[in-house]
Amino acid sequence: MSRITRLVTIFRIVGRYRLDELVDTERLGRAPRLALALMPWRLHQVPQLPRGVRLRRALEELGPVFIKFGQMLSTRRDLLPADIADELAMLQDKVPPFPEQQSIAIIEKGLGKPVAELFASFDARPMASASVAQVHAATLHSGEKVVVKVIRPDIEPIIRQDLALMFTLARLVARYVPAGRRLRPVEVVADYQFIILDELDLGREAANACQLRRNFENSKLVYVPQVYWDYTCRNVFVMERISGIPVTDMAALQARGTDLKLLAERGVEIFFTQVFRDSFFHADMHPGNIFVDATDPADPTYIAVDCAIIGSLSDSDQYYLARNLLSIFRRDYREVAQLHVECGWVPPQTRVQDFESAMRAVCEPVFERPIGEISFGQLLIYLFRTAGRFDMHIQPSLVLLQKTMLNIEGLGRQLYPGLNLWDTAKPFLEDWVQERYSPQSFLRRLQRQAPSWLEQLPQLPDVVLDNLQQSRDGDLRFARPQHREETQQLQSGEKTRRHRRQLLAGLACLGAAITAVPGGWQLLAAAPPVSWLLGGLALALLWPRDN
């Protein structure tokens, strides 16, 4: 499908659901307002559906790429009205499977062997089918039960084409919609591009799964299925097949007598452990990717799959985020404001007093509710939204963090409505900050950096000498023109003084000649005034001036 054809399809679907009604035309410029008024879809009646439902259905009709974009957009509650964000969160990327023979051909081409040789058994009918890939059940010749994930054929050109159109629309919004710059639509699409293109590389997902599995090895918190690297490439991924209860299947969990309070608290602990201990967190923890091993109902364990989207924070972001959250717990808004400036999340010229006042106005009404009803994730959204008014640029890593926090909180309260995230989070953060700056932690970081420093130590004298030489060369490059200019000034000054001496000598000779001639001064005095005027003018013109 050509780009023009695809664009026509988009406009047709936009017109059918009258998404132009979602735009505040009164705030548009004259040209875009006129263009919208002349669109043929104005002849259609507005469907009698809420605006969020119309937008969701339009995205579903536009296909997998737009569906996943809507899912990601639903996490940006700092940008969207609540009704639209809630509706977009309901988007499902269940799409019809692609033909079995295509799936087999992709596997055989990617792994270089026939399916019969690769697997003892292979179910050509997919277990599940999503927007980017579908999954088949199989058994290895060694007896292990596995799942085989296969990327949809020819999906990348479609994704790149739709991304190009999204960027075009985002630029139009940024240019013609008054609130466009604040919404940063181009940055939102760029974040989405980064995420969805990563999902096309199953080798990356396999590597993420291995790292996450290693981080929680021998842990009762979460289990990550084993990756089979001999059967994995860019568009095929084979992993251990797990059996567990979907985390949303409350009836099955309750029938097993699962400790739901412990399960909910462990979800929060997993999140904070990933973010602060490992700085490597599963950023797509929606219910479809989470299962529960309730073999021991009193000691349940999570099972996490689909590690395509992973978030990570820098050391400084970890520290500032922990300090920010603790300051919010204590309602120390001055420290929150100062931390935002210190870590560069808001411009350095931001007035701390103004930011502090804005944070207090947002947070105080939230804290008036019972502690068990306060949404931790929602408070994070308020924090980012308020900071956005002070020109805070939301980093992709923080967006993923916010999204994951909302997922974890929603999941935890679905399992156990009385879950108090604050009681679980606050001690964890306090212990983390205290441990991070303990002498033992400092020595461990010192030990970790020591090999790198020792390796570079022999080169230190050369580096110092090189820097000194560069500094000296810079000084010389600066000094040479300065010296040349000073020399020219000295030469010019000397030349001026020489001209003055010559002129004074000439005047002295002229005076001596007049004196030597009898009656010379009388003749000079009897000269007409015009002669004096011309003589004075000539002397002024001949007299050399300083440069």
CA distance 460 to 500: 59
Spatial separation of the C-alpha atoms in residues 394 and 397, rounded to whole Å? 8
Query: What pLDDT is recorded for position 464?
Result: 60
Residue whose entry in the numeric block shows the structure tokens 């156990």: 416
Dist. CA 278–CA 529, nearest whole Å: 100
At 122 the three-state DSSP class reads: strand
pLDDT at residue 286, as a whole number: 72
Q: What pLDDT is recorded for position 213?
A: 95
> Which pLDDT does position 204 carry in this prediction?
92
**Block residue for tokens 């309602």:** 331
Least Cα distance to 227 among 201, 246, 244, 202 occurs for 202
Judged against a pLDDT cut of 70, whether residue 510 lies above it is answered with no
Average pLDDT over residues 161-172: 83
Half-sphere exposure of 292 (CA within 13 A, CB side): 30
Confidence of residue 530 (pLDDT cuts 50, 70, 90): very low
Q: 65 falls in which pLDDT band (50, 70, 90)?
A: confident
**Residues 60 and 91 sit within 8 Å (Cβ to Cβ):** yes
Query: How many Cβ atoms sit within 10 Å of the Cβ of residue 50?
Result: 12
Of 209 and 25, more confident: 209
Using one digit for the tens of pLDDT, what is the confidence trace for 212-248?
A: 999 999 888 999 999 999 999 999 999 999 989 988 8
Structure tokens given for 241 = 């097949």
**Three-state secondary-structure class, residue 331:** coil
Give the pLDDT band of residue 101 (cuts 50, 70, 90).
very high
The two beta strands, 145-151 and 128-129, are unpaired
150 DSSP 8-state letter: E
Identity of the amino acid at 195: I
Q: What is the mean pLDDT of residues 80-86?
A: 79
Helix (H, G, I), strand (E, B) or coil at 136: strand
More confident: 536 or 353 = 353
Query: Dihedral sign, CA of 524, 529, 533, 538?
Result: negative
Q: Is the pLDDT of residue 518 over 90?
A: no
Three-state DSSP class for residue 527:
coil
| Overall size of the chain counted in residues | 547
Answer for the pair 405, 377: CB distance below 8 angstroms, yes or no: yes
Does the pLDDT value for residue 375 go beyond 90? no
Question: Would strands 236-240 and 222-223 be described as parallel, antiparallel, or unpaired?
Answer: unpaired
User: What's the CA dihedral at 502, 504, 505, 511 to 10 degrees?
Assistant: 150
- Say if strands 310-311 and 281-282 run parallel, antiparallel, or are unpaired: antiparallel
Burial class (CB in 10 A: 0-12, 13-18, 19+), 480: exposed
418 falls in which pLDDT band (50, 70, 90)? confident
Report pLDDT for 2. 65
- pLDDT greater than 90 at residue 149: yes
> Most confidently modeled of 70-84, 275-289, 443-457?
275-289
Query: Quick one: 365 exposed, middle or buried, by C-beta within 10 A (0-12, 13-18, 19+)?
Result: exposed
Q: What was the pLDDT predicted at 396?
A: 64
Q: Which residue has the tokens 């395509």?
A: 308
Q: Write the CA distances from 335 to 110, 130, 356, 359, 360, integer angstroms.
A: 54, 45, 8, 11, 12
Strands 236-240 and 245-246: unpaired
Query: What contacts 499, CB < 8 A, 6 or more positions away?
Result: 544
- How crowded is the C-beta side of 431, counted as CA atoms within 13 Å? 10
Say if residue 503's pLDDT is above 70: no
533: Cβ contacts below 8 Å, ≥ 6 apart = none
Q: Which residues of 145-154 are buried (b: 16+ CB within 10 A; e: fewer)?
A: ebbbbbbbee
Element (H, E) at 193: helix 185-199
Calculate the alpha carbon distances from 33 to 20, 91, 178 in Å: 10, 30, 12
Within a 10 A sphere around the Cβ of 60, how many other Cβ atoms? 17
For residue 148, pLDDT over 70 is answered with yes
> Among 309-313, 315-319, 370-374, where is mean pLDDT lowest?
370-374
pLDDT confidence of residue 37: 62
| Mean of pLDDT over the chain | 77
* DSSP H or E stretch at residue 146: strand 145-151
Q: What is the pLDDT of residues 39-48, one digit of tens each?
A: 665 666 777 7
pLDDT at site 205: 93
Burial class of residue 425 (count of CB atoms within 10 Å of its CB; 0-12, 13-18, 19+): buried
The whole-number pLDDT of residue 435 equals: 80
pLDDT confidence band for 365 (50 / 70 / 90): confident
Number of Cβ within 10 Å of residue 162's Cβ equals 20
Three-point CA angle 261, 262, 265, nearest 5°: 90
pLDDT of residue 259: 94
The CATH label, of 1.10.3720.10, 3.40.50.300, 3.30.200.20, 1.10.8.50, for the domain at 94-159+177-242 is 3.30.200.20
Query: Does residue 529 surpass a pLDDT of 60?
Result: no
Looking at the annotation, which residues are catalytic? 284
